[in-house]
Amino acid sequence: MKLKSFYYKYETATLHFIHSGKKTKLRTFPSCTLKQDLQGQSVAVIGLGKSGRAAAKLALARGASVLAIDQNQNLRPLEKDPLFERHSGVRTILGQFDEELFKDAHVVVVSPGVPLENYGLSCLLQSGKRVMSELDFAAEVISRSIKILAVTGTNGKSTVVTFAGQMLNYLGIEAFVGGNLGKPLSEAALQCFTLPSSKPKFQVAVVEVSSYQIEIPNKYFCPSVTVILNLTPDHLERHKTMRNYALTKCRLLSHMANTKLGLLPLGKF
């Protein structure tokens, strides 16, 4: 498969490599600044799978109270989870849900497994309420000095992301590997609140991105490098048409400019 690159004034200084002996090291940048930027605000987290729970932890770390919502009545409420027990600002609602509860939420964070047709999310987006994907909620507090490599496509995402992370680590570059694969990006953002600013845990985030994660347009998730491996019909029960599916995937390129690099497959996907 050939890849076509969209290359805008790209400079090697973008990743600031330093060559020392046999190893290639990345210059150390300050990590995220510890701040509770959501102090006094309420964050509604919809969908309490792995991504939703990580987003809830991040919201609490940022100083917000959390309204955790899921239609699955068999889930354990966050209040009874040992990871959340010490937090008093958590309320869980399982099963039937009243959309009126959104009125008091300053931010609504949507897990990737939740379609926009559920919970009145489509109307909520049109109303002007601040509705974010878990990916964007996490990216908002990740330091801009941390470079993001985003990989999407129908097939091969996990393999490429895993291999890219291994290559970076081999070169002595600390990398977070996750997103749709393994750890949610909110777990990476949480590290910004648990480590001193002078000791960043990683310099690059290699993120597998599914179409579900970017169904809500992102504002803060702006990769330094985006790779779209391929596109074949998939998830059409949610995206309805191949065109919608392709346009959703290509949203990753919406912030590509200046030193950003996008890679697309040549010819027919």
200-251 residue pLDDT tens: 689 999 999 999 999 998 999 999 999 999 888 877 778 789 888 888 888 8
Residue 190: which of 153, 140, 233, 236 has the closest Cα?
140
Q: How far is CA 244 from the centre of its chain?
A: 20
Lowest mean pLDDT among 20-24, 91-95, 124-128, 180-184: 20-24
**Domain-located, residue 109:** yes
**Domain-located, residue 36:** no
Q: How many domains does the chain have?
A: 2
Residue 193 and residue 141: Cα distance in Å, rounded? 10
User: What residue has token string 């959340």?
Assistant: 84
Q: What is the pTM of this model?
A: 0.84
Last residue in a domain, options 134, 151, 178: 134
> Are residue 110 and residue 152 in the same domain, yes or no?
no
Residue 262 and residue 252: Cα distance in Å, rounded? 9
Domain that holds residue 240: 3-31+138-265
> Are residue 48 and residue 24 in the same domain, yes or no?
no
